[in-house]
Amino acid sequence: MWVKDVDGNEYIDFTSGVLVTNLGHCHPALVQAIKEQSERLMNCYSFPTPERVDLSRRLVKTLPDNLNKVFLLTTGSDATEAALRVARRYTGKFEVLAFYGAFHGRTYGALSVAGNLSTRRQFGPPVPGGIIAPYAYCYRCVYDKKYPDCEFFCVRALDRVLESSSSGETGSVIVEPYQGAAGFIFPPEGWLKTLEAWCIKRELVLIVDEVQSSFGRTGKMYAIEWENVQPQLLCIGKGFGSGMPSSALAGESRIFEAMRPGELSSTWGGNPLASAASLAVLDVMAEERLPENSDRVGAKLKARLMELKDKHPALGDIRGKGLVIGLEIVDPADGFTPAPELTDKMLYTAAENGMLLGKVGLYGNVIRIAPPLVISEEEALVGVAILDRVLSEISI
Ligand SMILES: Cc1ncc(COP(=O)(O)O)c(C=O)c1O
């Protein structure tokens, strides 16, 4: 939970890097697994080493029943790119429905289904086929509706989006269960399930991008478990290696069978070192019951942060699940206008007070609270006390 900078200053880490070090920094079991593996074998391209085979088998066991195959890769973008390719091949259709604010990585296919200009600006034309529709950002609903009265209008409106923007070649939908880069935006309960039903009715392949949300972050191993959603393809990354680059694409075998052997190959994907690390992550997640800890400590942390809301008018919206909580920072004068400068001030003031925070958001005004999943209740309270102090300091 604690890191030191080059000058010896100590910080409590409320970032996990960028939601990566779910086990905390340098967990002894992870370090040991990497050390031992590095003395045995580090790379042998795509041969089925014991570590690769064990990891694939164990990963499948953590997944919903329909996801019975995995392909091991290195980065989150690798996983989303692979998902897009596999979905195109399987459906024979090139269009993909994605969402405003979405972030699926910085490689070309992934940025072509990004729903935010900053990812695409000045790179020339994106890969054709990305169709972008509003996400369920209820705090700032683009349709000016209110949940639950809206009855998921934004899902029903997807038909209009396809009628106006598709050439009839839409084969899949890619979605984050909560949007990370866009500002830790959590759709209301039932939204993802409603979207799944909408996809099933139209025979669209559902790709869920859990690069960020998987491996206990939201209080369950996978965020899709909250609503029992069963996508046909699932992207896994970040916490899967907890510091070692390791990612995966999980899917239904009938979908993977659309690919010929070798078409998904990767120099580093599933290498013995990364596989040994991910195996250690799986062990520690189970032994230390990290998804449960994320759920329990996350709920306490969120409740304490909610208590700060009345005291600090800059706290516009507080949302999240498990150990992924967004604080939307707004102009205290009207309680709604995004306040990106105040957000930056909060980041720096927090660092001066010994706490690492991150920033996300379509308007650059969401403080990202995402500590390692090993956090104790006491450490969560240390964080809340620092945040309280920081919010008082920046509003002077
Ligand atoms: C939801 C999501 N998908 C994909 C990615 C891309 O992952 P990577 O940076 O490992 O390529 C990220 C990274 O932030 C992400 O949050």
3-state secondary structure the chain: CEEECCCCCEEEECCHHHHCCCCCCCCHHHHHHHHHHHHHCCCCCCCCCHHHHHHHHHHHHHCCCCCCEEEEECCHHHHHHHHHHHHHHHHCCCEEEEECCCCCCCCHHHHHCCCCHHHHCCCCCCCCCEEEECCCCHHHCCCCCCCCCCCCHHHHCHHHHHHHHCCCCEEEEEECCCECCCCCECCCCCHHHHHHHHHHHCCCEEEEEECCCCCCCCCCCCHHHHHCCCCCEEEECHHHCECECCEEEEECHHHHCCCCCCCCCCCCCCCHHHHHHHHHHHHHHHHCCHHHHHHHHHHHHHHHHHHHCCCCCCEEEEEEECCEEEEEEECCCCCCCECHHHHHHHHHHHHHCCEECEEECCCCCEEEECCCCCCCHHHHHHHHHHHHHHHHHHCC
Average pLDDT, rounded, for the chain: 97
Ligand 1 proximal residues by C-beta, below 6 Å? 18, 75-77, 80, 103-105, 176, 180-181, 209, 211-212, 237
Nearest to 389 by CA among 356, 340, 350: 350
Determine how many CB atoms are found less than 10 A away from the CB of residue 95.
20
Residue bearing the CA closest to ligand 1, atom 13 = 105
Question: What is the pLDDT, as a whole number, of residue 31?
Answer: 98
User: What's the CA-to-centroid distance between 112 and ligand 1, angstroms?
Assistant: 14
User: What's the CA-to-centroid distance between 58 and ligand 1, angstroms?
Assistant: 23
Question: What is the pLDDT, as a whole number, of residue 396?
Answer: 67
Instruction: Identify any residues that bridge with 70 across adjacent strands, giving them in sequence order.
Output: 250
Determine how many CB atoms are found less than 10 A away from the CB of residue 120.
15
User: What's the CA-to-centroid distance between 230 and ligand 1, angstroms?
Assistant: 21
> CA-CA distance, 319 to 305, in Å (whole number)?
10
The residue assigned the tokens 């992870």 is: 30
> CA-CA distance, 345 to 119, in Å (whole number)?
24
Question: What is the pLDDT, as a whole number, of residue 117?
Answer: 87
- Max Cα-Cα span within the chain: 62
Name the pTM for this structure: 0.98
As a whole-number percent, the residues of the chain with pLDDT over 90 amount to: 96
Q: Answer positive or negative: Cα dihedral of 131, 134, 137, 140.
A: positive
Q: Candidates 22, 135, 209, 238: which one to mutate for ligand 1, based on the most atoms within 8 Å of Cβ?
A: 238
Q: Which segments in the chain show pLDDT lower than 50?
A: none
Question: What is the pLDDT, as a whole number, of residue 395?
Answer: 83
Treating both helix axes as pointing N-terminal to C-terminal, what angle do 290-308 and 377-394 enclose, rounded to 10 degrees?
Answer: 30
- CA end-to-end span of the chain, whole Å? 30
